[in-house]
Amino acid sequence: MSDKEDNNKPEEEEKVTIIKADRSLKNEIGNLMPLDKILNENIMTEAEIKIKENVDYLRGAYDSLLDHYMFYLRGAYEELKYAESKDEKTQCLKDIQHTALSIKSSAGIFGYDLAEKFATSLYLFIPNIKTFDDRIYLLLESYTKCMEIIAERKITGVEDDIAQKLLKEFDKITEQQKKI
């Protein structure tokens, strides 16, 4: 026989040890469902509780962060009002847009959908500003006030009729500004 044929020979069978399953835990809880399901449900419940605790903690931390964002947004807007040169105004707009992007990118994670929508609308509005007239300042002031109210009252959802109307109005304004 060749070496090739020797490799095809079955090896000696190994002895298998069978261990009887310990069903003591299953019997203690009433033998109501498969053990793996019981264990997975308990583990998942504990994991879900821990995740919820962490998310709640982070949401509280985000509330504080959102307050800081509002401080920066208000500050950038106030600087814009008093800026004299076009370069200063352009920098203030960049600061407003950067703050809006920061809010947009983090608000949705913690359930602040309304803040995310307004921040997105503001972020998209900024590049369309070509002149600095009273109308622009009024619109930016309106955005800033709405964002401050959202943060102060911890408004999360967008289901509210007033929230929907405000969002539609700001989106309409953004579209109109693109045409100017």
> What structural domains and CATH numbers belong to the chain?
65-179 (1.20.120)
Average pLDDT estimate for 164-180: 75
Kindly tell me if the per-residue pLDDT of 8 is higher than 90.
no
What are the pLDDT digits (tens) for 64-92? Answer: 888 889 999 999 999 999 999 999 999 99
For the chain, give the percent of residues with pLDDT over 70: 74
What are the pLDDT digits (tens) for 16-28? Answer: 666 666 666 556 5
Task: Scan for tokens 């298998």, then name that residue.
Answer: 16
Average pLDDT estimate for 109-128: 88
Neighbours of 90 (CB within 10 A): 14
pTM above 0.75, yes or no: no
CA atoms within 13 A on the CB side of 3: 0
pLDDT at 44: 56
Kindly tell me if the per-residue pLDDT of 41 is higher than 90.
no
Q: How many angstroms separate the CA atoms of 93 and 108, rounded?
A: 23
Q: Specify the amino acid at residue 149.
A: I
User: With bands split at pLDDT 50, 70 and 90, how would you rate the model's confidence at 145?
Assistant: confident
